[in-house]
Every structure is written in C-alpha cells, then in structure tokens.
Structure 1
Amino acid sequence: MANAIVTVHGGPVAVPTLLGQGPTRISTGGKIRAGIKVLTKKATCEPKAMAIYEQGVAAGQSFEQIERAISEALPSLKTPLVPRNVPWFTVRAQDFPNPDLARQILDSYGEDRGEGRRLYRFPVVFPSDHWPSVMPHELAAWGAHEKHYWSQYSADGRVRHCMCHAPVPTDDTGRRTIRLFGGRKSVERADNSGLCEPERCREYQLRQCNLTGRFLFFIPGIRSISAFELHTNSFYAMQAAIQKFETVAFLRGGRISGFLDRQRTPFFLTKTLREVAHIDEQGRAVRVPQWIIDLEAPVDVTTLMRESEDAETALVQARLASQVLQGATEAAESSELPDEAQATGFANEAQTFRDDPPMREGRPSLEQLMGRVRAYGIEPELYRTYADRRWGRGWKINPHGRGRAWDELERYRHDPQGYLDKIERELQLAGAGRAE
C-alpha cells in the first residue's frame, strides 16, 4: 500500500508533486499510549531509580524521558522499564507539543474509577475513508535510534517485501557522500531476496522484528489541526478494528470518516479484557488475560441503512421537483411534435429502457421505471393510479417501493399486453368495490 492514492474526506485525490511523490500522510500532534511502563524487578532495588521514576511520573514526563534519565544516572540498568497492561490509556503532557491538550482530553473524557482520573473510553473521528491510512501498520525491526527493516507491500498488494535504507552513495573519489534530495532511499533487503517471510526471518524469530501499528484520529471537542495517535502491537486489536472498519464502510457506502450518523455518533476507543492465546517457548498454546484495545461503533445499524435510502430519496425528490418546474415547457414542446415524430420518440425510448439495466441492484430511478411503463404501451397516469393502490402513494420516492414495481414489470417483460389487462382488471374491481 506504499503507493496507494489516498483521499482524505472532503478533499481531492492526492497527486504527485515535487515534495509529494508518496501517499498522503496524516500529520500528528500528540500521542495517547495504550498502557504504562513500570520499573523492572532489578530497578526497584535501586533507590535512585525509584526516585527518578516517581518524580518523572508526577511531572507528567513520557516514559522514554524517564527511562533515559534512569539509564544516564545508572548505566548498569540497560532496560530499567517494562510495559504493563492496564485497563486505561495513558495521557501525559510531554507526549503533546501543546501540553494543555493532555489536560483537555482528561478533563473532557477522563473518569475516576478508584485509581485517580484516567482515560478509559473516549470518542474518535477518523479523517479518511481509506482504513490503512488511519490504521497504518507494518512488521518492523528497530535499532536504538532508527528502523533497520520494515515490511511493505508491492503496488498490486500481492507480495510483501522486506525493506531497508539504501547505503548513502559517494562521489567518484569515494571519500565524500552525495547530497540526497528527500532523505535516504529505501531498497529491498538483499540478504533475503527482498521478501518478508516471518517464519524464515532471523530478526522475527529473535523477537527483534514485530508487528506495530497505530490509530490516527481526531477527538471531538479537542481543538487541534493535527491528528492524535494511539500505538498498538496487538494483532487481535488491529484485526478486530479492520473488521469494524469494513462493516461500517459497507453500510455507509464506503465511508468511515466523520460522524457515523445524523446524531453525530462517533467511534469510541476503549479496552476490553480478553483471553488471548499465544505459543510459549515450549510450543504450547497458552491463554492469558489481556486488556485489548477495542474500537466501538455504537450506532443503530438500521439507521445507517435508512440514511443510504434517504440519500436516494432526496435525489428522486429533487428530480421530481425539477420535472414539476419544467413540465409545462416540456409538455408544450411535446404537443408540437407531429404524431409520427412522437411515435418514433416512444419507440426509441422503449428500446432504451428495454436494454438499460436497473440502477443499484434492482433500485431504478423513477424516470427509468416510467420509461419501461411507456415501453409496454401503458399510459403513465393509469400505471400511477394502479401503483398507488398496490404499494401506497409513497412507492415512487421509496427505493424499495420502486424496486418492487420494477420486479413486477420484469415478470411481464414478455407479456406487456397481459400486464395492461391485469392493471385494468384490478382498477375495475377497485372501482366496483367503491360503488358497492
């Protein structure tokens, strides 16, 4: 997906420019973390490490800052902190260019469940309909200061390559590096034929290369032109999120960006305690409880489906209004045609609607449906009277109603006269019933 063209909601498709040859990227302005870091057992035995850790936490420092301070004070502690899985998200001032944003997030959405004010659940809005853009992820092997190797799919999405930084080229003398435009280049890793195969990868088997991903989002009510990010290494969290994205996109005509419905319902990020399976060092399947990031879409599914229909209905109503405004002119122009020209026009129209398939899987427009009626030799007003009685007066602006009408027309495709007889007979019976 490295070369995918991304459309951010409400904006144009990204096009290549001098500084924009790659895909559109969403800038970020702060991190919300999935958990916390605590001192290792060895580090807890060092009073100085304990003091630095407690002071850093109280000051709202990031865990990277705290870990760096401990390592500088106690060089013997190479990894003084380890991650700990907790039911809340960590929001620290030092993780934001504008530290006040951390306070705003906690004030707006934090809860006190007995352990102080924490962020357990908060609303998010995604800025793009392209889910890999709002949840980018990869297999990556990191060194102390930079990424050594990472996965990247081919343009057709079929082959996963292992990438690395290209060596910095030198001039003809071999003593001076060539100045690069746009930073270091990426190339396929040579020693594994450029393929990313975790089961055969030395770094992956040594746990040096791991799955890493992040969610990119805005938070309603928190004013920031840059998105926020939440990192995760959980395969289960990302796989479940992809399923939610795809389900919502299917119901919303491909959209996951913005609010989910007219009630301005957002997605929510929270955590759920689940039994997670993994393979231990002895090859045994072990299940352990873990707090997993969970993406929620608390919306009435039928509402999303109705909104899709409402959009179609609005288009039909707009066309009907246009017909009302233009009807007198069109009728006058039609009446001036000689009989032969009108007959030719109806014949051409009949052929068009015989060959034209229904729009959107059996939900034709009203114009298309009435064209089929005229092609059958049925007077439109006669058909409307019949259809109003059969499906109710709202059938013409309801996609399902038009679909039912179209299906009935299809059943009589090879017997238009039989269908006209059916319409006249039912209207005669209806008239007799009223007379009685």
Structure 2
Amino acid sequence: MPVPTIINDSASAGPPTVLGQAHARIPIGGKIRAGIKVLTAKAAAQPRAQSLYEQGVAAGQSFDQIEHAITEALPQLKNPLAPRNVAWFTVRPQDFPNPAIARQILDAYAEDRGEGRRLYRFPVVFPSDRWQTVMPHELAAWSTHEKRYWSEYSPDGRVRHCMTHAPVPMDDTGRRTIRIFGGRKTMARETNGGLCEPERCPEYQHRQCNLSGRFLFFIPGIRSISAFELHTNSFYAMNGAIQKFETVSFLRGGRISGFLDRQHATFFLTKKLMEVAHIDEQGKPVRMPQWIIELEAPVDVTALLREREDEDAALRQAQLATQLLGGEAPGSVAASAPATGGLPGPEPAPDDGAPSLQQLLAQAEARGIDPVRYQAYAARRWGAGWKLNRHGRRQAWNEMAERYRHDPEGYRDKIESELALADGSAA
C-alpha cells in the first residue's frame, strides 16, 4: 500500500521566485464524479442521440465527451444531457490521465447492490491538515468558456469580495494588447462595490452563480503520486464534512491528514439519502429526497485518545533520556533559565506535561504577538480545538518556545504571512 505524500501547511509556501511565493498546489490525477448524466427527454427522442449515448457509456467515455459527440452530430440539441442524482459514484477511464486507474479503483472497492458493480463507498486519505486545502470551495459564475465571477475573501477573512478578470491592457496606440506576464490579472467587480452578496447578486438570483467545491484525496491501495478529486455543489455535503474534519482535528491534536490511527483507519466517502429542504419559486419550503455525499470517520475515539496518551508518555521519556545522556539532572532543563534575551523559557506545565493556554498567550505577548491574532493562527495551524487538546497545546509550545526560541521577529512574520495567505485563499 503506497504511503501518500502529506503537505506540511506550515512550510507549503516556497521561497520567493520570479513566479511569486504561493502555497504548494496538490496535483490532480483523475476525477471521480458524484452522479451520472442521462439524455434529456428531447434528446432521448432522437435515435442518433440515443445510439451515441449508449456507445459512449459502453466505451467508458466521460459525459463531457459523450455530450460533445451528440452536439456535433445533432447541432440542434444544445444541452442533450442532464445530471441525475444516484446512490453511487461514477468512475470512468476517460476521467483519468491513466485510464487503468479507474479499473483499479472499481476492482478494489466496487460492489454489487443489485444494479451491477458500482462504487458506493471507498476509503480516502487527505494530504493536508487544513480542511480548506482538501475541500476548496467558492461561489462562482461561469460563461461558456471561462469563470466570469468568483468569491474571494480579504486577507483578514472578514469581507467576501466578488472577483473578475481585469480588462486586457492596450498599448499607447490602442490597437495592440500588452503582453501580460503571469497570466490575466484579477480585480474586484464593480457591481455591489466589489462585495459578494448573493441576495443582491443578479447572477446568483438567476442561478448562474452557485456554490461549488471539491474534495482532494488519495485512495489507499491505488498507486498515484497525484491526488483524486470529487466535485460537489451541495452545501449539506460540505457543511457536514467540515464538522467531521473539525471533530477529527480536535481528537488528533490538529491533524486530519494521513491514516487516522495505528491500524491505518481512514475517512470514507459514501452517499446518504436525505430529505433536503429548499425554497421554491413561490417562497414556500419544499423537501425532497436526494443522495448527498457523506464523509465518514469510522474510528475508535477511545483508541485515538489512548494514542495521544502514549505519545505524551513517549515525549516525556525522550526528554528525560536526553537530559540523562547530557549529564543533567532530570528536570534541570525545565528549571533552568535559558538565554533568550529576556523571553520566558520553555517550562511545561507540571500537571499533564503540556502548557496551559495562559502560558502560551504569555509567551506570545512576550514576543510582541497579539494574543487574538495568535489564537487565530493556531486554530488554522492545529485545528479549532487546539487549545482544549493538550497535544495541540504542546505542538503550539514546541513551535513558539523551541523552534522559534531565538527568532521572535521571524515568528511574528510567519504568523502574519500565514494568516494573510490562508484567509486570502479561503472562499
């Protein structure tokens, strides 16, 4: 079973280059689809369209390829295929650069529930500890060939802007475009003062702008250095996944990446039939059943807690061994006052081996770091429950009071940079 590459979010921003400084992107090696597409009633009435559809499905073509073949043969059919919500995921060879991957996934995890072998449920491993990285999402409006408008948050994460492509600049003659380095520039849309406000947005009200997101993951047993993606437009699916991510992050000291425990437990992606509510054209609430993507975490919570205790014990034993090998009396390192230019020394709390939140905030203030900003940074770095979890607090302590012990200025810069990059990329 291959071990997936895990992105360390604290170091994912590379050094400055001519192409800029940005977080590492996860390469994509194929797409699993949440449903299927079928012929519309108008298209199904055309024998030629029916034949092309059946041939494409049998050949394992993607639905985009099938639709393109139909519209080429029958130009009068503008949108011959319509999505259909089903209980399984679609895995087609043409959705992968290496078509053999599709067969490997189906051979490993497909099952027959009375409608042939389908992919109903499969394990996934996420390559990052930030759920915003493994489940990117945005509000976006598309034209035929490109994305016209999309949501983007300000660096402080408080204001959601509506962005669009900036006009291509012209030279002094006004007859030739200026060659642009690094791709097209973006700008805030002039409508609504550049703010993303769905209730006041004509595209959103006419269903041209919608929420869209995707899961990025590896599949255990499937050999690929690139991740796979699964798109979804469901608010319920993404909101439910966020809750699972934050729960697991709390239990694992800020981690959601990799295997969940020593028994190689993983998340699972499956579907659940749910009653979904929406408002109809008359403003009345309507409920209808839909198959919604669900992220499962079938893990023994008590085992995760025991694992944290085992790790805590191992860390304390390693610290004691280091002191003994260095000829120091046990506890002397914690008791001694390090030469840190007047900064508080790394003195862990005596009750459980981890510092308290008050101790961490005192360290932050001593380094000129605003406690509110620090807590925002720590929540993104180690998960929302970091300050309640002693393992999360210890990770925070080790970074601030050990790794950056002699570089408080560099640590302040790191925190501000991480907050600006993370908040600015969220959608």
Q: Which TM-score applies when normalising by structure 2?
A: 0.76
| Alignment map for 1:41-190 (pairs within 5 Å) | 41-190=41-190
Q: How far, CA to CA, are the matches of 1:303 and 1:217 in structure 2?
A: 24
- Runs in 1 of length 4+ with deviation above 4 angstroms? 323-327, 346-349, 355-358
Correspondence for 1:8: 7
Given that 1:150 and 1:163 are in contact with CA atoms closer than 8 Å, whether structure 2 keeps it comes out as yes
Is 1:194 the equivalent of 2:194?
yes
Please give the secondary structure, in 2, of the residue aligned with 1:259. coil
Correspondence for 2:359: none
Q: CA distance change for structure 1 residues 200 and 362 in 2, over 3 Å: closer, same or farther? A: farther
Is 1:301 the equivalent of 2:301?
yes
Correspondence for 1:240: 240
Given that 1:140 and 1:151 are in contact with CA atoms closer than 8 Å, whether structure 2 keeps it comes out as yes
Q: CA distance change for structure 1 residues 172 and 309 in 2, over 3 Å: closer, same or farther? A: same
The amino acid of 2:172's aligned partner reads: D
Correspondence for 1:32: 32
Q: How far, CA to CA, are the matches of 2:143 and 2:354 in structure 1?
A: 59
Asked which structure has the greater CA Rg, the reply is 1
Q: CA distance change for structure 1 residues 330 and 316 in 2, over 3 Å: closer, same or farther? A: closer
Correspondence for 1:208: 208
Please give the secondary structure, in 1, of the residue aligned with 2:213. strand
Q: How far, CA to CA, are the matches of 1:348 and 1:130 in structure 2?
A: 35
1:12 is displaced (CA, Å) by 2.8
1:193 is displaced (CA, Å) by 1.0
Given that 2:337 and 2:345 are in contact with CA atoms closer than 8 Å, whether structure 1 keeps it comes out as no
Please give the secondary structure, in 2, of the residue aligned with 1:181. coil
Q: How far, CA to CA, are the matches of 2:196 and 2:232 in structure 1?
A: 21
Number of equivalences: 343
1:318 is displaced (CA, Å) by 1.6
| Alignment map for 1:330-369 (pairs within 5 Å) | 359=348, 362-364=351-353
Q: CA-to-partner distance for each residue in 1:253-300, whole Å, 9 max, x for gaps?
A: 111100000111111000011111011111111111110000011101
Is 1:222 the equivalent of 2:216?
no
Given that 1:9 and 1:257 are in contact with CA atoms closer than 8 Å, whether structure 2 keeps it comes out as no
Correspondence for 2:376: none
Q: How far, CA to CA, are the matches of 1:347 and 1:261 in structure 2?
A: 36
Q: CA distance change for structure 1 residues 173 and 49 in 2, over 3 Å: closer, same or farther? A: same
Q: CA distance change for structure 1 residues 177 and 365 in 2, over 3 Å: closer, same or farther? A: closer
The amino acid of 1:195's aligned partner reads: L
Q: CA-to-partner distance for each residue in 1:341-399, whole Å, 9 max, x for gaps?
A: xxxxx9999xxxxx999846942379xxxxxxxxxxxxxxxxxxxxxxxxxxxxxxxx9
Please give the secondary structure, in 1, of the residue aligned with 2:56. helix
1:115 is displaced (CA, Å) by 1.2
Q: How far, CA to CA, are the matches of 2:62 and 2:148 in structure 1?
A: 24
The amino acid of 1:364's aligned partner reads: G
Q: CA distance change for structure 1 residues 265 and 322 in 2, over 3 Å: closer, same or farther? A: same
Q: How far, CA to CA, are the matches of 1:158 and 1:211 in structure 2?
A: 19
Q: Which moved more, 1:290-299 or 1:318-327?
A: 318-327
Please give the secondary structure, in 2, of the residue aligned with 1:193. helix
Q: CA distance change for structure 1 residues 56 and 315 in 2, over 3 Å: closer, same or farther? A: same
Q: CA-to-partner distance for each residue in 1:67-109, whole Å, 9 max, x for gaps?
A: 1111111111111111000000000000001100001000111
Q: How far, CA to CA, are the matches of 2:12 and 2:134 in structure 1?
A: 16
Given that 1:217 and 1:227 are in contact with CA atoms closer than 8 Å, whether structure 2 keeps it comes out as yes
Correspondence for 1:231: 231
Given that 2:273 and 2:289 are in contact with CA atoms closer than 8 Å, whether structure 1 keeps it comes out as yes
CA RMSD of aligned residues (A): 2.6
Runs of 5+ unmatched residues, structure 1: 1-6, 335-345, 350-354, 367-398, 401-436
Q: Which TM-score applies when normalising by structure 1?
A: 0.74
Q: How far, CA to CA, are the matches of 2:354 and 2:54 in structure 1?
A: 67
Given that 2:316 and 2:353 are in contact with CA atoms closer than 8 Å, whether structure 1 keeps it comes out as no
Q: How far, CA to CA, are the matches of 1:316 and 1:164 in structure 2?
A: 53
Q: How far, CA to CA, are the matches of 1:365 and 1:146 in structure 2?
A: 51
The amino acid of 1:60's aligned partner reads: G
Q: How far, CA to CA, are the matches of 2:207 and 2:285 in structure 1?
A: 18
Q: How far, CA to CA, are the matches of 2:211 and 2:326 in structure 1?
A: 61
Given that 2:128 and 2:257 are in contact with CA atoms closer than 8 Å, whether structure 1 keeps it comes out as yes
1:188 is displaced (CA, Å) by 0.4
Q: How far, CA to CA, are the matches of 1:291 and 1:45 in structure 2?
A: 28
Is 1:266 the equivalent of 2:257?
no
Name the structure where helix makes up a greater proportion of residues: 1
Runs of 5+ unmatched residues, structure 2: 1-5, 339-343, 356-389, 392-427
Q: CA distance change for structure 1 residues 144 and 308 in 2, over 3 Å: closer, same or farther? A: same
Q: Which moved more, 1:248-257 or 1:20-29?
A: 20-29
Q: CA distance change for structure 1 residues 258 and 174 in 2, over 3 Å: closer, same or farther? A: same
